[in-house]
Amino acid sequence: MNRKTFTLIEILTVIGIIAVLAALLVGGASFASRASAEAKTRSLLKQMEIALEAYFQDRGFYPTQQSSGEVDWDRSAFESTSGVVYLESYDPADFHDAWGRPFYYINHATEGYRLWSKGHDGEHGRKDDGSVNPPSRAGETGCDDITNWTRSD
């Protein structure tokens, strides 16, 4: 039996294998892209934390902002009283998370400050709680906000 063509079953099997491999590749690339964006956002949060700690060391208090809001301070907020810049890369018009959205900040009198990004979905807290404030427990199920504090049970 000398055959020179592929059967329909063989062709469909190869197409099926290629489709599965393509789906795995696209899914993996999407995961890697999201992980990269989260790492960039965490890095920017860490830079801002360091700048806020330098601000505190210089002035004895954190920037005042009693309600949750976007970080929209002018550049002078990141300069010491002697003119040293705490965060060189800070430009209010250009300092955003990896998804192009602003960071959020609140100064609690008893808990210090909280700094966060809305994360991948662009919404505060969990999707089902309708929250406009930072999530009370970062990292909880359904919450993709990226914060400067850790989960507390």
Q: What is the DSSP string of 87-124?
A: -TT--TTT---TTS---EEEEETTTEEEEEE-TTTTSS
What pairs with residue 116 in β-bridges? 104, 147
| Banded pLDDT at 88 (limits 50, 70, 90) | confident
CB 62 within 8 A of CB 52: yes
58-86 tens-digit pLDDT? 888 888 765 667 887 777 777 887 888 88
Q: From CA 55, how far away is CA 32, in angstroms rounded?
A: 35
Higher pLDDT, 50 or 93: 50
The pLDDT of residue 20: 94
Q: Which residue has the tokens 């989960």?
A: 151
Please choose, from the candidates 43, 105, 51, the residue with its C-alpha nearest in 3D space to the C-alpha of residue 78: 51
Sort 145 into a burial class: Cβ within 10 Å, 0-12 / 13-18 / 19+. buried
Consecutive H or E run containing 53: helix 8-59
| Banded pLDDT at 9 (limits 50, 70, 90) | very high
What are 147's two structure tokens?
């914060």
Identify the CATH number of the domain defined by range 40-147.
Answer: 3.30.700
* Domain boundaries of the chain, sorted by first residue: 40-147
